[in-house]
Structure 1
Amino acid sequence: MKLPTGQVIGEVTDLRAPLAVRAEVFIAEQHVAPAEDVDGRDADCLHWLVTDAEGSVATLRVLPQGEVAKIQRVAVLKRARGTGLGTALMRHVMDRLAERGFTSATLGAQIDALGFYERLGFQAHGPVYDDAGIPHRDMDRDL
């Protein structure tokens, strides 16, 4: 998918660029331990990457769980936050997941990002919990 601003969203199998974006966001900015981010599940996941003229700018992964798609590791570089890129990435991926037969999506949202996911149709449930030292809450939506 090509965006009007010249960014491109695509599914990838080479994980070097997604891991680099995740390292910048989660490890460098949020001080998540590398072993918490690279957890041995990447080979089981589908990965999407957004690039622009400057290089890789956003990524996420999806862990298939039957008909449920568990969206994880949503990361947007600081230079692209607030531009609508994260929303475009999520909408694109949810459309692709629905095309593949997934019926719902679930994710663990950082508390600071609840509003972002609510605007995409996700609904929070359950208690707040700690994931890698950051408060999270589970969210779901139909696809």
Structure 2
Amino acid sequence: MLTAQRIDWATHGNACLAVRRQVFVQEQGIAPAVEFDGRDPDCIHVLAQHHDQAIGTARMLPDAHIGRVAVLAPWRGHGVGRLLMAALTEEARLRGESAVHLASQESAIDFYRRLGFVAHGDMYLEAGIPHLDMTLTL
């Protein structure tokens, strides 16, 4: 069974950090000091699980900026990212947000476009990886 739902950071934060460590630090080579920015306690987090195994995570900052969207490699292409984004956009709607924003890695731009996000601005480097800002009107 595959689920993605909002979690309490104090209780389930370590599961989110483990997924992010695997995806961003180990696979993509992002420095831990960049990845673990100290902002997690202020965010809304969602965790995707298969049964009780953490397989994906994402967060939303107080300003409706979505980030740290990470899915473990064996689960990519199975709808986990879509579930994470649906859970976070629903949280944004419940908060009364009119839009959500994100900085997409170049490799994920098409994924976010399929979800309705619109790109704006120019490509830029963040943590050594090309990114493009995108917005979804809710």
TM bin, normalised by shorter chain, reads over 0.9
The alignment partner of 2:81 has SS state of helix
CA contact (8 A) 2:19 2:57 kept: yes
Runs of 4+ residues over 4 Å off in structure 1: none
Tell me, in whole angstroms, the C-alpha distance in 2 between the residues paired with 1:64 and 1:53: 29
2:67 aligned partner: 72
Q: CA deviation at 1:99?
A: 1.8
What stretches of structure 2 of length at least 5 have no aligned partner? none
Q: CA deviation at 1:96?
A: 2.3
Q: Do residues 87 (structure 1) and 82 (structure 2) align?
A: yes
Tell me, in whole angstroms, the C-alpha distance in 2 between the residues paired with 1:10 and 1:23: 20
The 5-angstrom pairing of residues 1-143 of structure 1 reads 6-12=1-7, 13=9, 14=11, 15-53=13-51, 55-65=53-63, 69-143=64-138
Q: CA deviation at 1:53?
A: 3.0
The alignment partner of 1:22 has SS state of helix
Structure 2 letter corresponding to 1:74: V
The alignment partner of 2:96 has SS state of coil
Once the two structures are superposed, residues 83-129 of structure 1 have per-residue CA deviations (whole angstroms, 9 ceiling, x without a partner) of: 11111221222122102211110000001100000001101111111
Q: How many residues align?
A: 135
Output the aligned Cα RMSD: 1.1
What stretches of structure 1 of length at least 5 have no aligned partner? 1-5
Q: TM-score, normalising length from structure 1?
A: 0.90
Tell me, in whole angstroms, the C-alpha distance in 1 between the residues paired with 2:48 and 2:78: 13
Query: Which structure: greater helix fraction?
Result: 2
The alignment partner of 1:64 has SS state of coil
Structure 2 letter corresponding to 1:58: G
Structure 1 letter corresponding to 2:106: I
Q: Structure 1 residues 45-54 or 16-25, which shifts more?
A: 45-54
Q: TM-score, normalising length from structure 2?
A: 0.93
The alignment partner of 1:20 has SS state of helix
Tell me, in whole angstroms, the C-alpha distance in 2 between the residues paired with 1:22 and 1:127: 26
